[in-house]
Amino acid sequence: MAVCLWAELKKAHRRHDLPVVLGIGVLALCWANTMKLSDPASLAYGYSMVLYGLSIVNAVVMPLSMAVLGSRLWDVEVRGSACKLLYTLQSRGSLFGAKVALGFAEVLVAPLMELAGTLAFGRIYRFTEPLSPAALGWFFFCTLAVNALLFFFELMLSLFFENQVPALGCGVLFSMTGLFAMFMPPAFTRLLPWAYYAVTLSVGMVYDESTRISTFYPIPYPVWALAVVVALCGLVLMAGWRLVRRKEV
């Protein structure tokens, strides 16, 4: 398994995956930074505002980014017509396992950068809101779980169709509907797994139209939503493994 993972790492190096995964985190953080974080009225809600804003940013950026990561991970074998060779050199389990492990490591980077970025924003803009490690941790795990779900789903699509248009097309459509779902009734949002960046939020917002000031308040952690995402992750992974096992070369 270690050899297979090493081979995947070498492929990732040749594909220049590192700039791509870092770019995803940078894009999300740069976008979050365009919110009025230094506004004195916002400082008392600084961390909550960043977490709320990042969930909207994630709804747009992450579905497409995960499609890009998932598609690139398998497309390298499709373009090189390498599946036949690989299946004779290594077990299908080790190939799939190595790809899933590397993919998960890549998926991990963006939530970690967002976590670090949130802390950095707090220091740079001197938020007066007390830092809640539990809320930050919850945000990290939920973002990671939804990202992983989307990544495994897109990887599965890439496995199923040699043509990468369905995976990327789904990425664009998920980004779009994920953003729309943010402004739809919660009952509708809960139907879309790729919109769970909003469903798993532990921060609520009230916008006062007369003063044009947003206030944020904590809401109980929606543990059921995280459980749904984790369960879906498991199902999608199993479906992906089934596809790899049965794939004709």
Instruction: Please report whether residue 61 would count as binding another protein according to CB under 8 A.
Output: yes
Instruction: Please report whether residue 18 would count as binding another protein according to CB under 8 A.
Output: no
Beta strands 213-218 and 203-208 are antiparallel
Nearer to another protein, 67 or 142 (CB): 67
Site string for another protein, 72-111 (x = CB under 8 A): x--x---x-x------------------------------
Site string for another protein, 113-152 (x = CB under 8 A): ----------------------------------------
Taking the complex as a whole, the smallest distance from the CB of residue 161 to another protein amounts, in Å, to 8
Nearer to another protein, 24 or 50 (CB): 24
- Of 5, 7, 9, 31, the residue at the interface with another protein (CB under 8 A) is 31
What's at 133, amino acid-wise? P
- Of 5, 7, 9, 27, the residue at the interface with another protein (CB under 8 A) is 27
CA 222 to chain centre: 18
Nearer to another protein, 42 or 175 (CB): 175
Number of residues that bind another protein (CB under 8 A): 37
For the purposes of burial, counting CB atoms within 10 Å of the CB of 219, is it exposed (0-12), middle (13-18) or buried (19 or more)?
exposed
Site residues (CB under 8 A) for another protein? 15, 20, 23-24, 27, 30-31, 34, 60-61, 64-65, 67-68, 71-72, 75, 79, 81, 161, 163-169, 171-173, 175-177, 179-180, 183-184
